[in-house]
Structure 1
Amino acid sequence: MTVCAPHGPQSTPQSLPRSAPPEDLRRPAFTVTVDGSYAAWLALGRGTDGWFPERWTLDGPEPYAVSLPGTQPEEPDSQLLPLTDGRVVIRRRVAERYALSLLYPTGPGTGELPLGAIECPYLCLLPPAPDGTSAYALVHGEEQTTLWRVHGGSGGPQLLATVPGRCEGGAWLDRSGRLLALDRELDGLTKAVVVDLGRGGETSPLLQITEKSNDRLLLAEPDSGLLLVRSDAPGVDRLGWGVLGSARPVRFPECLLPADAELTPFAARPGQGLAPEECAVAFRVDQGTGGDDWVGVWSAATKRLRRFPGPTGWLAGAGLWTASGELRLPFVTASVPCGLARVPVPVSMPESASVPVSVSMPVPDEPDDFSEPSAASAMSMVPVPVPRPPRPVPLQQAPL
């Protein structure tokens, strides 16, 4: 593995016009900062201009996008990570190495500041760090995974930890950016582990529901401690929920196992301190019909998954939730190249509730009725204590 030092700043002309990409060509990775101020993705130019980075500003009265093209179109596997200062980290594959740079608008052009490069088989950026200014990445080897800080430290890329096995995913468990959860595949099983950056990258177990189960962490909400997990401990792969640092059982609600759809969590309501059951989670609901993408809203308190159609052109699986209870969903259409639907979703909704969807620019009206799954029935696991800062504690093993 070779690490290359960064070079001086560069500037490239900003030349690609923005157009709404066709449905089948949208990039799935639309990444939002932790505070919801910015987002970034690869957008599609007109004609044969190809893919180029685009940064969205989301914290104003209306969203707006800024193109950040380089001297040539990007490869579709380039990865973007927005920072809260408005700059964007980009990861590009160049021959046998991965090059990292900072992109930022400079009047009519795009500024680029190289951050260095790492020669390795594969490198992926982790989700945005809580501080909003640091960037981390995983480097995959044959028998181990290394964790790197690629921006926010001193100099070029900095090796922080080495974890045996192959790690994927990535979820921050606290607001300080100290505890990072990863899904590690080792000896034929996948278990979530936690890397403590405050203890030199020390790694310890996070999820172990049974000895032979595959236990993955899908989403963590640091304020409430709510964890969304996927495990085959019940006999089939299912979604469940637990509470970080609690002795309460992991539960697998029936409403999170719909027969007609696949659920993927993408956002949780922040600010619900000490109230994990009131912390609502938003899901992408893939009904496999080839039609519009739907949004699901669930909380442990309501014990139901409520569905409603996403806005036309929704970048399915992307969005953020504000502490005030507003779910924000980015969308792109031929007439709205940068849109944000605002959905006020109360924590506890009555049976007859509808979800009004307002957007920053006119789009076709959406139905506001729900498709009601059957009532939830929770299957309990024995209590699984999870890490309490500063030192994580492994989850207890327990029978079903």
Structure 2
Amino acid sequence: MTVCAPHGTQSTPLTTSPGAPPTEMRRSAFTVTVDGSYAAWLALGRGTDGWFPERWTLDGPEPYAVSLPASQPEEPDSQLLPLSDGRVLIRRRVAERFALSLLYPAGPGTGEMALGAIECPRLTLLPPAPDGTSAYALVEGERHTTLWRVHGGGNGPELLSTIPGRCEGGAWLDRQGRLLALDRELDGLTKAVVVDLGRGGETSPLLQITEKSNDRLLLAEPDSGLLLVRSDAPGTDRVGWGVLGSARPVRFPECLRVPDATVTPFAAQPGQGLAPEDCAVAFRIEAGGSSWVGVWRAARKRLRQFQGPAGWLPGAGLWTADGELRLPFVTATVPCGLARLRPDEEEAAATAVASAEAVPAKVVTGEVVGAVEVPVPRPVPLQQAPCARTAGVAS
């Protein structure tokens, strides 16, 4: 694992003590563009300056951060969305409406372009769109949810579709930005549905493992069609996987059950168009107030568990097509860092370490020698869900 710590980062220095945990220094909401070029989040300013937007550039030889402060600090519930052109969309609550603007570096200061506002009780930005320039949001109502395009369309926010029920989540199923998956709560059950933007926002079912199960989509990888889901169809909430358009049922591997821990996927390897079972998936594993990293492939039928880099932003990261997992981190001395892990190349060494007592990784001039793997019980082969009736993942 390689740790990149830039020499000339432009982010505001931290004022917390060197031993303070990262969660006290920065917010954990860290959003990365689909192409992995930029990321954005709210950072904590010096002293009492409060929160300010910060953009990270991730596609160079080393990461660097640029502060994008406005004339006054941001509220901690403001939401950021990076675009592939380097601008950052911000959603702010202003009284009974949500104002939307684009932020960008402008000399020594920050430029801002207003995009309009939507009056509503709650507005949530969706994950970055595949084209890197469009932005979408959900507005929750009492009995329905509306889908809006808030950037990339005409002038101002544009209402695209009205969907019965309460929707949340959001994952893009294709690289064209046409098929959007949402988790919809309707009539007491939550099911993943697809909104087809190419057909006027037409909505159709995506997941129905059983008629009475709650079936949510956690992550989708458009190139391979790999889907990671969470469902109570097996009797308790389990993480399972399927392939978009496949006739095979959703399967719930025993290795994705970690005792007394929550397992959540946050990144999948792109470019595996013909091999969904070889697509690597990174998981955030949480237990006892701690978080660490899991790496899984359906074909290998096991979940490898690793300590993340010091100061890792739990649940943040991205895969490259050639199999490198990149994990952003922040410490009191490194305000913008990116750890690079190649699980396949290090598997033999990590397995040897895991068979003995775990020891901290050794850092030598930015190189981490001997990635530490956390011992886990021996996994069993993939199984089909023990349900009365299973269904394949609908396209």
- TM-score (structure 2 length as normaliser): 0.89
Q: Distance in 2 between matches of 1:125 and 1:360?
A: 40
What residue in structure 2 maps to residue 187 of structure 1? 187
Superposition map of 1:268-283 within 5 A: 268-283=268-283
> Which string of whole-angstrom CA distances, capped at 9 and with x for unpartnered residues, describes residues 233-258 of structure 1?
00000000000011012100111111
In 1, the alpha carbon distance for the partners of 2:116 and 2:71 equals 19
Q: Could you report, residue by residue, the CA deviation over 1:68-115 in whole angstroms, capped at 9, with x for unpaired residues?
A: 000110000000000000000000000000000000000100000000
- 1:181-211: CA deviation from partner (whole Å, max 9, x where unpaired): 0000011100000000000000011111111
Equivalent in 367, 373, 379 of residue 369 of structure 1: 373
1:323 maps onto 2:321 in alignment = yes
Task: Give deviations 1:280-315, integer Å, cap 9, x for gaps.
Answer: 100011122x34x31000111110000010000000
SS, match of residue 346 in structure 1 = helix
Amino acid at match of 1:344: R
Asked whether the equivalents of residues 144 and 164 of structure 2 are also in contact (C-alpha less than 8 Å), the reply is yes
Aligned CA distance change for structure 1 residues 241 and 311 (closer, same or farther; 3 Å):
same
How far apart, CA to CA, are the structure 1 residues paired with 2:228 and 2:38? 25
What SS does the aligned partner of 2:76 have?
coil
In the alignment, the residues of structure 1 paired with residue 352 and residue 11 of structure 2 have an alpha-carbon distance, to the nearest angstrom, of 44
Number of residues paired by the alignment? 371
| Residue 339 (structure 2) pairs with residue 335 (structure 1) | no
Partner of residue 64, structure 1: 64
Decide whether aligned partners of structure 1 residues 145 and 357 sit closer, same or farther in structure 2, where only a CA change above 3 A counts: farther
Alignment-derived partner of residue 126 in structure 1: 126
How big is each residue's C-alpha offset from its partner over 1:346-392, in whole Å with a ceiling of 9 and x where there is no partner? 299568367998999849878523322321343314441421xxxxx
**Greater Cα shift, 33-42 or 270-279:** 270-279
CA distance in 2, matches of 1:220, 1:148: 21
Cα distance in 2 for partners of 1:144, 1:357 equals 50
Identity of aligned residues (%): 75
Check conservation: 1:99, 1:116, Cα contact below 8 A.
yes
**Residue 203 to residue 347, structure 1, CA distance change in 2 (3 Å):** farther
- Tell me, yes or no, if the aligned pair for 2:363 and 2:369 is still in contact at 8 Å: no
Q: Give the structure with the larger helix fraction.
A: 2
For 1:361 and 1:340, the matched residues in 2 are separated by 14
> In 2, distance between residues paired with 1:227 and 1:360?
38
Contact residue 227 and residue 241 of structure 1 kept, 8 A? yes
How far did 1:46 drift?
1.1
Instruction: Give the Å deviation of 1:147.
Output: 0.3
Distance across 1 between alignment mates of 2:261 and 2:27? 22
Kept in 2, the 8 Å contact 1:312–1:364? The answer is no
1:34 is paired with a residue whose SS is coil
Change (3 A) 1:141 1:279: same
Residue 246 (str. 1) matches residue 246 (str. 2): yes
Partner of residue 352, structure 1: 351
3-state DSSP of counterpart to 2:255: helix
What letter corresponds to residue 309 of structure 1 in structure 2? Q
Q: Distance in 2 between matches of 1:107 and 1:93?
A: 27
Structure 1 residue aligned with 2:300: 302
Aligned partner of residue 374 in structure 2, secondary structure:
coil
The runs of 4+ residues in structure 1 deviating greater than 6 Å are: 353-361, 363-366
Change (3 A) 1:203 1:360: farther
What amino acid is the match of 1:245? G
Match of 1:4 in 2: none
Counterpart of 1:230 in structure 2: which amino acid?
Answer: R
- For the residue of structure 2 that corresponds to 1:250, the secondary structure is coil
8 A Cα contact 2:242 2:393, kept in partner: no
CA distance in 1, matches of 2:235, 2:135: 37
In the superposition, relative to structure 1, how do residues 265 and 242 fare at CA in structure 2: closer, same or farther (>3 Å)? same
Looking at structure 2, the residues matched to 347 and 164 of structure 1 have their Cα atoms a distance apart, in angstroms, of 48
| One-letter amino acid matched to 1:183 | D
The alignment partner of 1:251 has SS state of coil
> What amino acid maps onto 1:370 in structure 2?
V
Question: Residue type of the partner of 2:328?
Answer: P
Deviations 1:39-76 (A, max 9, x none): 00000011101000000000000000000000110000
Matching residue's letter, 2:339: A
1:284 aligns with 2:284: yes
Instruction: Give distance in 2, aligned partners of 1:186 and 1:18.
Output: 47
Structure 1 residue 19: Cα displacement:
1.9
Partner in structure 2 of residue 394 of structure 1: none
What per-residue deviation string (whole Å, max 9, x for no partner) do you get for residues 95-139 of structure 1?
000000000000100000000000001000000000000000000
Unaligned 5+ segments in structure 2 are 1-9, 355-359
Q: Which amino acid aligns with 1:103?
A: L
Q: Is the 8 A contact 1:342 1:359 kept in 2?
A: no
Instruction: Give TM-score scaled by structure 1 length.
Output: 0.88
Please state whether the residue corresponding to 2:314 is helix, strand or coil: coil
* Distance 1:260-1:340 versus aligned 2 partners, 3 A rule: same
Tell me how far apart the structure 2 counterparts of residues 183 and 212 of structure 1 sit (CA, whole Å): 15
Give matches, 1:9-20, under 5 Å. Answer: 17-19=12-14
Q: 1:249 to 1:38 in 2, by over 3 A?
A: same
From the superposition, tell whether residues 312 and 16 of structure 1 become closer, same or farther in structure 2 (CA, over 3 Å): closer
Q: Residues 228 and 239 of structure 1 are in contact (CA less than 8 Å); yes or no, is this contact kept in structure 2?
A: yes
Deviation of the 1:17 alpha carbon: 3.1
Partner of 2:136: 136
